[in-house]
Amino acid sequence: MHKLSSDSGKAVDIVEDQTIPTAAKLEIAENYDRDNHLIRFKKGSPYLAHLIMHELVHLDFTTQARKKNANFLFISTKDHKELFIRDNEPVIKKLNQDGITDKTIADFITSVFNGMNSQIYNAPIDLFIEDFLYKTYPELRPFQFLSLLDMQKEYMKSASNKQIIRYSSAFARKANLVLNLVHCLQFKDLFGCDLISSYGAAIQDLKLAEKFYQEYLTYQKNNQSLEAYKLIQRWAEELRIDKYFTMAEENEYRSKKADSDLLINTIEEERLHVEKFETNTALKRPISYQGEPAGQMAIVMYCLSALQYFEDKNLEEIKKVGFEIAMLGKQGIDPSNTEKKYHLESIPGKEFSGLQLLAYMYSAFQVIDPFLDTGMNFKKEYEMARNLHEKK
């Protein structure tokens, strides 16, 4: 961190921030009009040592590229987004048919657009970063292994998630799968752990991932980590998602930057898969209140309230509630903050706490699809609530 401060000419600060949507994120000073680079982290992740080091190396690569006038920015404008929306009209139609509100659909399409762009931007450079960490900091490897393994588990879940398959376009799913497979290939190389078969990927997708990985290995062998932007462009073209962004040399771009442009590489540096219906993509373990009697009782009462509300509702009405809360969760729902209140279009005139929302969502999906992994371990509390409801 001290070396980076010296090399970049700006202080590097690391601060706790429980409001960020991911476990850690990098904010480069120039992208935020600040005098310091900032790494924010969320307390509670068991792999913070790896995640923070990952962000520091990302900043290091950016600093090195700037010294050689070879730093490229990933830029996506409103025109790129409008094109993405037009290309996703079949998905939007499905969401409309399922009774999802216009605002929720708009938020969902935006999250997929940002997620896909973030993934293609980060995928190549993340390979160089993980290779650098593995070779340079052997004492970090246990944390690196567990952290990357956790990510692989998330990627594998997304590959077979029914909601993702139904509510995402074929090109977005393919890009997501292929890029996740590329990281799986590196995980196998670094740690000897082969998880490829768990994806159930088609031969053509696996072959494309292997092609990308071999291209990365050629760059790595030739010490071309600062040219990762070339891989971004080439992989995006093969995946047919290059029309949703442009790459620009930083100095040239900043001299004529338009206010309407969005710098995708200012968002949190993370590996995003295709967005799915869950409460919080940053959560790595199910939300559970086992061993907390007060929390368990609150969940029972909230689930009971949800069951009473759903009593005279049809499936489509229950879907609206469940999906709206799931979409709201993409911005983050904090069950521990009892003061923050939420509102739903599908249940007008009612105010919810974060934990109450999660209980309503869990109860809704017990009707919609009881086998879906919601990221919440409320089974015991829900059963108690259902027994109480049946007795009434």
Range with the largest mean pLDDT of 113-117, 202-206, 291-295, 375-379: 202-206
The tokens of 149 are what? 């393994």
Average pLDDT over residues 132-138: 96
For residue 68, count CB atoms less than 10 angstroms from its CB and return exposed for 0-12, middle for 13-18, buried for 19 or more.
exposed
Q: Outline where the chain has alpha helix (H).
A: 2-8, 48-67, 78-87, 89-97, 102-136, 141-160, 162-166, 170-191, 203-221, 228-239, 250-254, 293-310, 315-328, 354-368, 379-391
The answer to which of 16-25, 58-67, 232-241 has the lowest mean pLDDT is: 16-25
Tell me which DSSP letter residue 287 carries: B
pLDDT for 31 = 82
Mean pLDDT value across the chain: 86
**Phi, psi for 313 (deg, rounded to 5):** -100, 145
- Residue pLDDT, tens place only, 96-126: 888 888 878 888 888 889 889 999 999 999 9
Q: How far is CA 173 from CA 45, 110, 178, 372, in A?
A: 28, 15, 9, 19
Q: Cα(31)–Cα(41) distance, rounded to whole angstroms?
A: 18
pLDDT for 333 = 86
Nearest to 119 by CA among 174, 179, 74, 75: 179
The answer to which of 49-63, 76-90, 229-243, 281-295 has the lowest mean pLDDT is: 281-295
CA dihedral 42, 44, 47, 51 (to 10 degrees): 0
CB atoms within 10 A of CB 368: 17
**What's the pTM?**
0.68
pLDDT for 255 = 76
Q: Cα(341)–Cα(346) distance, rounded to whole angstroms?
A: 16
DSSP string for residues in 6-67: HHHTSEEEEEE-TTSSSSEEEE-GGGGT-SEEEEEE-TT-TTHHHHHHHHHHHHHHHHHHHH
The answer to which of 12-26, 207-221, 274-288 has the lowest mean pLDDT is: 274-288
Q: How far is CA 374 from CA 98, 157, 288, 364, in A?
A: 19, 12, 12, 11
AA letter at 320: K
pLDDT for 286 = 62
Q: How far is CA 134 from CA 86, 188, 190, 250, 361, in A?
A: 42, 13, 8, 29, 40
* Residue corresponding to tokens 């009892």: 338
The tokens of 65 are what? 């590229």
Check pLDDT > 90 for residue 57. yes
Check pLDDT > 90 for residue 196. yes
CA dihedral 364, 369, 371, 375 (to 10 degrees): -40
- Residue pLDDT, tens place only, 266-317: 443 443 333 333 333 333 346 888 778 888 889 999 999 999 999 999 998 9
pLDDT band at 254 (very low <50, low <70, confident <90, very high): confident
The tokens of 332 are what? 């983050």
Of 33 and 232, the one with more pLDDT: 232
